[in-house]
Amino acid sequence: MTRSAVFAPFEIIEGSRKRGLVLIADHARRDLPEEYGDLGLPATEFERHIAYDIGVEAVTRRLAAALDAPAVMASFSRLLIDPNRGEEDPTLIRQLYDGTVVPGNYPMSGEERQRRLGRFYRPYHDAVDAVIASVAEASGRAPFILSVHSFTPVMRGFVRPWHAGVLWDIDPRAPLPLIEALSRETGLVIGDNEPYDGALRGDTMFRHAIVNGFAHVLIEIRQDLIADESGAEEWAARLAPIIDAINRRPDIHQVRRYGSRTGPV
């Protein structure tokens, strides 16, 4: 983890906007602005999944390079504020996370909540909006959005059997081909909306893809498989040709409003 007095809430990895593809990594980093110190937590907590999605930054950088596509990564730890939650979600700023009390988040005044929204959360989402808009303009078609996440091998004593999970809501255009392609690889166990449900109102995919009718998919990779450089390279190399093939399909770049299982958009 690094702390900085001058803190940018996002990083944009450049790539060709003409390809019609955007990568997003909400939980790629575990950094905090200097003024927040360590939120009252020991350094070991920032090695855990509660602070960030282990391995995702490396996978996203490699995917962006392999696909020649722009990517937007949040620069702040999800412990500060979670960009993959709606603004009214009770887990937006966690005070307790997987058994860990976060002293710097309790008590949380309304003023501090608005400060974090204004300084970190909203600028990140504004950057995602801007990159998506620029891709749509440069490519002349609706963009395809890929969100990259990772999950813990064990949660609350349950050993998760999946190597990766594909999360989605109603739009099947990208998720089903991705599940099919990954499932063809011998030895891989791929979850369909595992280990989480892809229908979460107000999350990043809802906000930037579903309401706009853009094709999208969220990939969750098990963290122990991408925790080192070789694992990140292996998974980026595995995913890149599949995502490239999906991105080349004409139907992927059409606006289609399927709605959401969470209700009307």
The whole-number pLDDT of residue 6 equals 77
Count the helices and strands in the chain (H runs, E runs): 6, 13
Return d(Cα 72, Cα 92) in angstroms, integer.
Answer: 20
Q: What are 223's two structure tokens?
A: 């963290």
Residue 18, amino acid: K
Write the DSSP assignment of 145-164 as a string of letters: EEEEEEE-SEETTEE---SE
Evaluated on CA atoms 259, 28, 247, 236, the torsion sign reads: negative
25 three-class SS: strand
155 three-class SS: strand
Q: What domains are defined for the chain? A: 3-253 (3.40.630.40)
Return d(Cα 148, Cα 26) in angstroms, integer.
Answer: 8
Return d(Cα 126, Cα 90) in angstroms, integer.
Answer: 22
Return d(Cα 109, Cα 97) in angstroms, integer.
Answer: 19
Q: What are 206's two structure tokens?
A: 């809802």
Q: What are the φ/ψ torsions at residue 152 (nearest 5 degrees)?
A: -75, 145
Contact 261, 170 (CB under 8 A): yes
The whole-number pLDDT of residue 4 equals 59
**pLDDT digit string (tens) for the chain, length 265 residues:** 666 567 999 999 999 999 999 999 999 999 999 999 999 999 999 999 999 999 999 999 999 999 999 999 999 999 999 999 999 999 999 999 999 999 999 999 999 999 999 999 999 999 999 999 999 999 999 999 999 999 999 998 999 999 999 999 999 999 999 999 999 999 999 999 999 999 999 999 999 999 999 999 999 999 999 999 999 999 999 999 999 999 999 999 999 999 999 999 9
pTM over 0.85: yes
Return d(Cα 59, Cα 46) in angstroms, integer.
Answer: 19
Contact 3, 32 (CB under 8 A): yes
Return d(Cα 185, Cα 132) in angstroms, integer.
Answer: 31
